[in-house]
Amino acid sequence: MPKLINFLKNKTDSKTQAEDIAQEATIQLVKNWEKVEHPKAWIYKVANNIIYRRAREQFHKEIVTSEHIERAIESPIDFITESSDIIQVLKELPKRQRQVLAWTLSGYSPSEISEILEVEQSTVRSTMRHARAYLAKRLEKTRPRLMETNNRRMRRIDAHKDELE
């Protein structure tokens, strides 16, 4: 178990997280003991899957900043439209590109991602390059709409300032 925890410490933020994942993987191993042919390989794979699942869950949670809150309060409909456009574009990515993007945004290096996804590092880098290019192209198409949204917001703010003066 110490080797598994050390392995997981290199892939997680803390020893506590690594221990938690090792414990969860061990519980799954015990539950599936009858079906497991190679316990050591199986527990590493399950632990890796747990890391991936947690990273994916984290990726799907939106990070809310004070700027998000301000924009949502100023113009809730515009904010929802903007956010849903970005989410829609992310959903359009092929599964592998979403995976590589999620791992990258979670702070993993191409070599770590290649281990997790069991592909070459060059494949990870290429996949990430394609994902970024697609996102840039698609977001460029939605940018005029976002710019119009910002312009409407600015006109409302200016009108409100005029009323105050």
Highest mean pLDDT among 68-77, 98-107, 124-133: 124-133
Residues 22-42: what's their mean pLDDT?
92
pTM, rounded to two decimals: 0.42
**Mean pLDDT across the chain:** 75
- In the chain, the percentage of residues whose pLDDT exceeds 70 is 64
User: With bands split at pLDDT 50, 70 and 90, how would you rate the model's confidence at 74?
Assistant: low
Whether pLDDT at 111 is above 90: no
Question: For residue 108, what are the contacts with CB-CB under 8 A and spacing of at least 6?
Answer: 11, 55, 116
CA distances from 134 to 61, 98, 107, 131 (A): 22, 11, 21, 5
Question: Lowest mean pLDDT: which of 16-30, 37-51, 53-67, 93-107?
Answer: 53-67
